[in-house]
Structure formats: C-alpha cells, structure tokens
Structure 1
C-alpha cells in the first residue's frame, strides 16, 4: 500500500477509504461532479451525466477537473517554473486552455486522466496529477501504457505533495482500473521528479533524448494484482 486513499466505486457510486490493513469504510464524499455551460448557464449534467473518481490521501483530494478550476490551472501552467525542464516555454492563456481541455477529455474518452489536486484542509488548488495517453509515437514498449504526469504549483513545492499525489493516483489506477504497467518520462536534469518517480516504485528502463532534452524513461510493473 502506497498511501491511505479514497477510491471511486462505480457499482455503488460511492467513495471508500483504504486503510493500512486494506480494509474499507464508506466516506461521505460524492463521486459525481458538475459543470455549468458558460453559454446557456445550464448544468451540463442536464445533457450528459459526468462522473469521476474522488481520491483522497492524508493531505490531498484528487478529482477530475471542472470548469471552475481553469483559472487556477492557467496560473500554474503560465508560470515559467511549470515547464522549466520541458522543451516548451511558459504557456499562454490559449495554450493553457487547450491543455485543460485535453486533460478533461481524457476522462470522457478513456475513463482515466489527470486529476486536479486540492489541499484537503484549505481546499486550495495545488496542482495536477494523474495518467494520460499522449500519443507520443514512441513504440509499443511505451505507447498506450498509462503515462503518469504531475505538476505542483510553485508556492507548494518542496512539501512532499507530488509524491503523495502520485502515490494516490497510482494506487487508484492499479486497484480500480487494474493497470499492471504504467510509465513516465522525466528530464534527466529534473532531480526532484526523478526522486518522486523512484519513491513510487518507477524504475528506469531507457535513457534517450526526447524533444531536445535528455530524458529518463520509467516504468512501474505490478505483478499479481
């Protein structure tokens, strides 16, 4: 067990808490989220039922992104530090919006995706974490395995939140979706994220240049789920 967490149970539409002994107990936490159309003002759930998991760790709450999260997401992604180890420069508002739509779209098309991450005590938005399918065309040993990704807002870094959030997301994708192999790409210069990956049990299987920067390719393989 990586961390205590709450997972969504599709059959019961309820969240359950895994404790250290892997027992469960119900938690008063709705698993349905709602968005309001900016055009009509009508809730989108009048047109389509949108459901998603709620995952909780000791300090954090993870859930799929909602429309109201965009301003916080935009501020995070437009900060130059968010992409310090990427081939990209800081995002503009339009690029942040496109990425936001991509993250939300994962849940509709694939049934998993990046979560918005919140401080459970303050309800403050502190980052994103989760899994994606980013169509990188890197070959069968990488493509179509759920790819872990994480970003923590600048003001909340160095608190261990990335490790805690990734652990919760990994436990969810393995226990609920049954994923037996997940992957991630980390810049070889990003020592902090390499440490996060290693703490969660990802192991390097390849080192190569990726989009202009030296990268480490990691995998996490689970046997006997």
Structure 2
C-alpha cells in the first residue's frame, strides 16, 4: 500500500465552482439521491443494488472521510437551478490501495458532461491541496461508459492494483494542475 501524506485536513468539503456546477459538502438530504442510485440497476458497477441500510452505511462512511482524511465526496449541483446532479470526489475506504477519483450522476444528468466537469475540478483541487502527482480511477471492466470518461479526462490505463483484482485502473497525471 502506498502511503500518501495529507498536508491539509478539511473537516468539511470546500466549495468548488465550475462554469455550470457547484461542488459542495454532502448533506443529509442528498441521501435520497444516493439511495435511488444504489437501489437501481445502475449501481451494479458499484456492487449493488443495495438495501437502504447498506446504502446509508456507504454514504455515511464516504462523507465521514472529510474529517478523517481531508477528502471525500462532493455533491454536484447545477449552479443556476440548484438541482442535485450527482457526486464526484476522492474515495479511499479501507482496502483501497490509494485515493480514487470517482463519480456518479442522476438519471436526469446522464450524458451531459457533468461528471467530467466535476472530475476536472476535483483533480485540480487535489493537485493544489495535496500536491499529489497522480490519482486513479478503479472501474469495473464492464462499465464501459466510466472507462471511456476516465480516458477522455486524459487518463491512461495502467497495470496497478485497484479496489478489486479485476478493476481497470486509469491513472491521471496531476502534475502541472496545481496553481
């Protein structure tokens, strides 16, 4: 396992703004959206579908990474309407070899470029905040859309451990992104 020093801890998520998105700390009200995702067939690439109790444990543990690790998920909102669009962030539950860049969007937000826009903002934030030289995606080999997105974001497939032995690992070079 590669240890990565965390220089700055954030007990809550900072707010990140992009052209269309506001990335913010998840709140209790966001759980309904996560539950809908985890109850659907779309969650198959995350090991789902999950029961309400399982979904809560995942959601709460991911949000709990903020005070414990200094990073975690951001809820994505449309800057104009305030509509919840999904989640993007950095995840490292026990057993992950390194922090992972991940995302999901609601059904209504699918295919509109929100995950890519949010992921780019998180990569710049991670490079600036932590000084990391790279971050990886761990993607189930059947999740062609996420693999394509990771590659469109400039990542390259590498032979490295993921969260599961079958994962496709896509590495993003963060050098040069820090301000």
Q: TM-score, normalised by structure 2?
A: 0.83
1:59–1:121 Cα contact (<8 Å) kept: yes
For 1:62, the equivalent position in structure 2 comes to 23
Pairwise CA RMSD: 2.5
Alpha-carbon distance in structure 1 between the residues aligned to 2:164 and 2:92: 17
Q: Which has the higher contact order (CA 8 A, sep 6+)?
A: 2
Equivalences for 1:58-207 in 2 at 5 Å?
Answer: 58-81=19-42, 83-86=43-46, 88-136=47-95, 143=97, 145-206=98-159
Please say which structure displays the higher CA radius of gyration: 1
> Where does structure 1 differ by over 3 angstroms across 4 or more consecutive aligned residues?
207-212, 222-225
Work out whether residues 158 and 171 of structure 2, in 8 Å CA contact, stay in contact via their aligned partners in 1.
yes
Unaligned regions of 5+ residues in structure 1, if any? 1-9, 11-31, 33-49, 138-142
In structure 2, how many angstroms separate the alpha carbons of the residues matched to 1:164 and 1:194? 16
Contact kept? 1:207, 1:215, Cα under 8 Å: no
Summarize deviations over 1:2-31 as a string: whole Å, max 9, x none: xxxxxxxx9xxxxxxxxxxxxxxxxxxxxx
Distance 1:100 1:208 in 2: 24
TM-score scaled by structure 1?
0.67
**Equivalent residue pairs, number:** 169
Cα pair 1:146 1:181 within 8 Å, conserved? no
Q: Relative to 1, partners in 2 of residues 1:112 and 1:150: Cα closer, same or farther, differing over 3 Å?
A: same
User: Is the alpha carbon distance of 1:208 and 1:109 closer, same or farther for their aligned partners in structure 2, counting shifts above 3 Å?
Assistant: closer
Deviation at 1:107, TM superposition (A): 0.2
Which has a greater percent of helix?
2
Task: Please point out which of 150, 171, 178 is paired with 1:219.
Answer: 171
Q: Where do 5+ consecutive residues of structure 2 fail to align?
A: 1-7
| Deviation by residue 1:65-118 (Cα, 9 ceiling, x = unmatched) | 11222222222222221x2334x2311111111011111110010111111111
- More strand as a share of residues: 1
